[in-house]
Amino acid sequence: MKHKIAPSLLAANFVNLAEDIEMINQSEADWLHLDIMDGVFVPNISFGFPVINAVSKISKKPLDVHLMIVNPEKFIPEVKATGAKIMNVHYEACPHLHRVIQQIREAGMEPAVTINPSTPVFLLKDIIKDVYMVLIMSVNPGFGGQKFIEHSVEKVKELRQLIDESGSNAIIEVDGGVNQETAILLLEAGANALVAGNAVFAAPSPKEMIHQLKAL
């Protein structure tokens, strides 16, 4: 399948958020990526459900909701109520991950799991056939604009091998330091969805940058 591009709302201009979302609506982006941070699981606080509910009313792109929070399973009904397509939880935040994945699917959303830079891919072996998507963090989660962790390319290769050998259909998404240069390496390694924040919103023409990332 053609790889997917998911601009990250975290890098948008929150003073003119509606304008940035309309730009995404008119672009070739596939999803809109939303990072919810609680200041506990990650050392930052982003935005919550009032913002997501407002965004959902004007976004024409499916919402890819990434919960960087403790106890994400408590908020499955709230995420569902936003109309989100994908609910993404961290492996490190879910001691009963299989149950959470089931609950997300039962709620009518696509379940996804994220692993931090220090979490090895092999830990996903027992749930890889149950998830719609795996997100590899290629920076330490919590802040935008960080430097890409180069070892992430090897993790994508390992995950691609695990998916292929298991017969899973899981999508590989990567978030952190994604730009035109790192995107090529990640796609060659087997990724098929890319989250892009600063690369898109700091570009002279964000819409054109989305087009360029989609065309790789």
Question: 97: Cβ–Cβ under 8 A, 6 or more apart, which residues?
Answer: 89, 91, 113, 127
Considering the candidates 20, 30, 35, 64, report the single residue annotated as catalytic.
Answer: 35
Which strands sit side by side in the sheet containing 110-115, from one edge to the other?
4-7, 193-196, 171-175, 133-137, 110-115, 86-90, 63-68, 32-37
Question: 101: Cβ–Cβ under 8 A, 6 or more apart, which residues?
Answer: 111, 113, 127, 130, 131
Is 35 tagged catalytic? yes
Instruction: Look up tokens 């924040």; give the residue.
Output: 197
> Could you list the active site residues?
35, 175
